Amino acid sequence: MNKLLAALVAGLFATVTFAASHAGAPMAAASGATPAASAAAKTDKAAAKADSKQMKAEAKADKKKAKAEAKAAKKAADANKKEEKAAANAKAKSAKADASAKETKAEAKADAKKDAAK
């Protein structure tokens, strides 16, 4: 009977040990080893994180580029506006000078007629 009980206990022990070694997670957690699936998941997670960082950096660079382009466009528009204003002022001054010259000429002509009438 003792031999029978010993064989039964040994068989039970062997079965439990075999089941624990093939269960994966309990044995791996106990031994500190990581299964291949867990390592692959960590690698995928790291790759996703790197991609996310790269996408954020690209978005930031694009935003910075767009801001710089908008600033340059505004600067060009302001310069163009300034140039047009300067041209308009020059044209106005020229017209004023022409009008003044015509007025002076007309006054000189009137004075000449006055002198001729005397």
pLDDT, tens digit (0-9, with 9 covering 90-100), for 12-26: 888 877 766 655 555
Residues 39, 33 contacting (CB under 8 angstroms): no
Q: 75 in a domain, yes or no?
A: yes
- The answer to whether residue 5 is domain-embedded is no
Between 111 and 86, the higher pLDDT residue? 86
Answer for the pair 21, 27: CB distance below 8 angstroms, yes or no. yes
Average pLDDT of the chain? 83
pLDDT at 115: 77
Is residue 18 included in any domain, yes or no?
Answer: no
> Token pair 């093939």 is at which residue?
22
Q: Does some domain include residue 1? A: no
Model pTM greater than 0.75?
no
Q: Which residue did the predictor score with more confidence, 12 or 30? A: 12
